[in-house]
Amino acid sequence: MTQDLTVSTGDITGGDSKIDRTDFSTPLGEIKSHLDDIVNGDQVFENLKLITPSTLTISSGAVTVTQAAHTLAAESGTADDLDTINGTVAGRLYTFKADTGDTITLKHGTGNIDVVGGLDLELSGDHTVIAYSDGTTVSITGNGGGTLDIAGLSLGGIDPAADYIPYYDANLGTNRKVLIETFNPDRKIAEGEIFSPISTISLGSIPADYYMLDIHLYLRGNTAAINVGMDFKLNADATNGNYYAIVNQLNASGIFSSAETLGSNPGFSIGRAAPAGSSPANWFSTWHFRIFNYADTTNYKAVEGRGSVLLDAATGDLYSVIVSGLYLSSSPISSVQVISKAFQWVSGSRYAIYGKGIAR
């Protein structure tokens, strides 16, 4: 038998029973409590699923969000900059990734985007970022991709103001900076190879942007002897009194020779600096010179050098050479000359000069 139910003043009656609206209060209250726990983070999610991202095409550097997840497409071509994200609601989270094949750069500080770390962030491929809005500023964090574009760095000079990478230190709860030289300590100024014999390797136009110079040499002479000496000269300065040095040559038995040159040579003079014509074919020596505080205009310049000189294994002519020198001039170093004491440096000899650190 079918019987009608009657709803009156919030109660449901019919047949032999009556359902009071208060009967729903307890289960509804429990549901509300569980929802509050989820929203407040007291209830653990087993799975969190966001809506399928919809595509926003950048227009004049801006997009307007319509949901919590979006794919960003370039306005034209396959690369674009995003300056401003409109339509966000205070307190909400959003996710963004680049459209397939596109590269989107999130511009820090240009519009309302704030990237953690203070640098532009590049999105491409499967990289995704999370954004939090306070209603005005959209803060970005997450797995960006690509490269960092650090303004001010160039081969010929460094802008000290831009020579830092900012980062957030979670332990200290503050933004900090780290010198770029920590990641890229050497900046190549010049390098080259000798393709026809020359007597002098000249490295000029050295910028005054760094703290020290590293000079690397790979040498062989063509004189008809087992070895050839070298003069290491600074600023093409031929003033004998400006070069003080001690040169120690060591072999398997210890110190083979030690020579002091106290203002008696127009350069740092080094005997047995490289194999020559009578040494086994294709043998070269390697040298590393370092000049500290080379751009200083007040103090003299300290120079150190180390060479591995292999002349002839059959005769035991194998040496390690250590040079400690002082250039008695307050002029900044703007050029270096590597001079063969006899004949020339052969084809295949090489050189490279690097700047290290930032001028203090």
Q: Say whether both 200 and 348 belong to one domain.
A: yes
**CATH (domain of 349):** 2.60.120
**Is residue 92 located within the same domain as residue 214?**
no
Confidence of residue 84 (pLDDT cuts 50, 70, 90): very high
Residue 139 shares a structural domain with residue 212:
no
Position 166 pLDDT exceeds 80: no
Same domain, 198 and 331: yes
Q: Are 92 and 133 in contact (CB under 8 A)?
A: yes
- The answer on 139 and 267 residing in a single domain is no
Judge if 228 and 280 occupy the same domain.
yes
Mean of per-residue pLDDT scores for the chain: 80
Same domain, residue pair 106 and 136: yes
For the ranges 44-48, 118-122, 125-129, 148-152, the lowest mean pLDDT is seen at: 148-152
Q: Is residue 181 part of a domain?
A: no
Task: Report yes or no on 172 lying in a domain.
Answer: no
Whether 176 maps to a domain, the answer reads: no
212 & 249 share domain: yes
Q: Are residues 209 and 349 in the same domain?
A: yes
CA distance 320 to 15: 110
Residue 347: its pLDDT value, please?
93
Among 100-109, 140-149, 300-309, the least confident range: 140-149
Count up the domains in the chain and report the number.
3
Q: Are residues 196 and 342 in the same domain?
A: yes
Domain hosting residue 300, numbered range: 186-356
**Structure tokens, 307:** 């060479």
In a domain, 47, yes or no: no
| 303 domain-assigned | yes
Residue 161, in any domain of the structure: no
* Same domain, yes or no: 26 and 66: no
Residue 137 lies in a domain: yes
> Would you state the pLDDT for residue 201?
93
Query: Confidence class of residue 183 from pLDDT cuts 50, 70 and 90?
Result: very low
Flag whether 251 is in a domain. yes
Same domain, yes or no: 230 and 346: yes
Residue 237, C-beta contacts closer than 8 angstroms, at least 6 positions apart: 266, 267, 327, 329
Higher-pLDDT residue of 128, 263 = 128
pLDDT score of 26 more than 90: no
**Which of 210, 182, 295, 306 has the alpha carbon at shortest distance from 250?**
306
In the predicted structure, residue 47 carries a pLDDT above the cut 90: no
Give the end of a domain, one of 149, 164, 196.
149
- Give the pLDDT of residue 131: 93
pLDDT at 147: 40
Evaluate if residue 125 carries a pLDDT over 70: yes
pLDDT at 152 over 70: no
For residue 159, what is the DSSP state? -
Query: What percent of the chain has a predicted confidence (pLDDT) above 70?
Result: 74
